[in-house]
Structure 1
Amino acid sequence: MVEPEQPSTARMIDFWLGGEHHFPVDAAAARAFEEAYGPCAAIFRDLRDFLGRAVGAVAEAGVDGFLVFGAGLPTQGNVHEVATAATVLYTDVDPVTIRLGQRILAGSDRAGYGYGDATDIGTVDPAQLHRFVPGWGRRPVGVVFLGLAAFLDDETLARTLDELYDAVAPGSFLAFDFDSEELAGYPQALAMMGPQFRMRTPASFAPLLGRWVPTAEGVVPVARWRPRGEPAAVPDAFHGGLAGKPTD
């Protein structure tokens, strides 16, 4: 693969997670952000742990098909590595990330990768959706919506989550997160995120879930969502949770 000229968040996260699917431009950008902020590797390991716990909870509820938006790279404990009996469709909008994801998953009969814009579910290839998330709209599924809220305004985010709610069958789940106001104290790092970056409080985010019903834990720092043992000692950079579409 030709080395990209611009870094991507997905490959920067791979760098922070200790993966092998990033380029020098991504490592350089990751180190620059670390200098402006700090403990990125620990924070993103904690976020990936949250993903694993949330996906594991959905799988334990009997769900065996997942649709992942803004998926990044399908490695380092991503969905199909956690829900080992499930089928998974990863989607993203970045063409380099999609090609790399397809290369990583080549030959897999449980996981696929394709284009998908979370704000327009019609952009997901119906053939891939039928293959990797069978029963979409008729059987409960898990929707993973991590790393996206910070780049959507309130109106777009609320509309997107509402459309996803309408699209899935009762009994489905939504794993979600959003950026807290942590970076407000780090203006240099905040500037690196660009003008579209949005930080939210739990109180301001909760209404955007619309009809999705959070589990008993509510909207909490991700380290405190069903931790295994003591929660990780990391800054509360991300809040999140798991929400469902009731069956009655």
Structure 2
Amino acid sequence: MVEPDQPSTARMIDFWLGGEHHFPVDVAAARAFEQAYGPCVPIFRELRAFLGRAVRAIAARGVDGFLVFGAGVPTVGNVHEIAPEATVLYTEVDPVTIRLGQRILAGSDRAGYAYGDATDIGTIDPAQLHRFVPGWGRRPVGVVFLGLAAFLDDETLTRTLDELYTAAAPGSCLAVDFDTEELAGNPEALAMMGPAFRMRSPAAFRPLLGRWTPTEDGVVAVTHWRSEVTPPAVPDAFHGGVAVRGDD
């Protein structure tokens, strides 16, 4: 695989998680961000732990097919490792990460990786969708939507989540997270996130879900969502939850 000359957030996160699928350019970018905002490793490890709890909770409802948007690198406790009996389609828009994901999953018959723009589900290859999420539109599935809300304005985000609600079958579940205003006090790190990055106050999170109904756990700090241990003392950078599609 040709080494990229631009860093990728997905591969930076792989580095912070202790993975093996990143390049020197990603490590350099991750180190630079850590200089501006230090606690990246514990924050992203807690976010990955939240993904694990959310996916297990969705699987416990009988869901055995997952569609993952903004998937990043499919290792270090990603969805198919958390729910090994399920089928999973990972999607991304970054071509380097897609090729990397396809290489990692080349021997799997239960997980695939394809291009997919979260704001336009029609960009996903229907053959891939129906192979790895065979019940899409007909029976409950799990939709994983992590790391994306912060890069969509309110109008685009609400439209996207509503379109996913319409396309998914009743009983489907959405795992979602939102960035808090944690970086507001770190202007250098905030500048590195780029002009599309949107922080939001916790009061804004629930309305953005539209017709999706959160479980009784609500949308809370990811360290607290169904935590099985005393939540660690890490900055409150992400809130998340699982929401369910009703019968309407």
Compute the TM-score of the two structures, normalised by the length of structure 2. 0.99
1:155-201 Cα distance to aligned partner (Å, 9 max, x none): 00000000000000000000000110000000000000001100011
Structure 2 partner of 1:53 = 53
Residue number in structure 2 paired with 1:201:
201
Alignment of 1:155-170 (within 5 A): 155-170=155-170
The 2-side partners of 1:78 and 1:247 are apart by 29
C-alpha distance in 1 between matches for 2:137 and 2:44? 32
Counterparts of residues 101-140 of structure 1 (less than 5 Å):
101-140=101-140
SS of residue matched to 1:90: strand
Q: CA deviation at 1:232?
A: 2.0
How far 1:204 moved relative to its partner? 1.2
Give the whole-Å Cα distance in 1 for the aligned partners of 2:195 and 2:229.
Answer: 38
Q: Deviations over 1:28-74 (max 9, x none)?
A: 00011001011101100000000000000000110000000000000
- Secondary structure in 2 matching 1:134: coil
- Counterpart Cα distance in 1 of 2:40 and 2:14: 11
CA-based RMSD of the aligned residues comes to 0.7
Residue identity matched to 1:108? S
Deviations along 1:126-150, one digit per CA (max 9) or x if unpaired, are: 0000100012100100000000001
Describe the superposition over 1:72-104 as per-residue Cα deviations: whole angstroms up to 9, x where unpaired. Answer: 000000000001110000000000000000000
Amino acid at match of 1:202: P
Q: Percent identity?
A: 81
Structure-2 residue corresponding to 1:229? 229
Does structure 1 residue 20 correspond to structure 2 residue 23? no
- Report the secondary structure of 1:101's partner residue: helix
Q: 1:1-248 residue pairs with structure 2 within 5 A? A: 1-247=1-247
- Give the whole-Å Cα distance in 2 for the aligned partners of 1:41 and 1:13: 8
SS in structure 2 opposite 1:177? Answer: strand
TM-score, length of structure 1 as denominator length: 0.99
- Compute the displacement of 1:233 (Å): 1.5
**Cα separation, 1, equivalents of 2:92 and 2:179:** 19
Please give the secondary structure, in 2, of the residue aligned with 1:241.
strand
Cα deviation 1:175-234 (Å, max 9, x = unaligned): 000110000000000000001100011211211100000011111010000001111221
Unaligned residue ranges in structure 2 (runs of 5+): none
SS of residue in 1 equivalent to 2:223: helix
Number of residue-to-residue matches in the alignment: 248
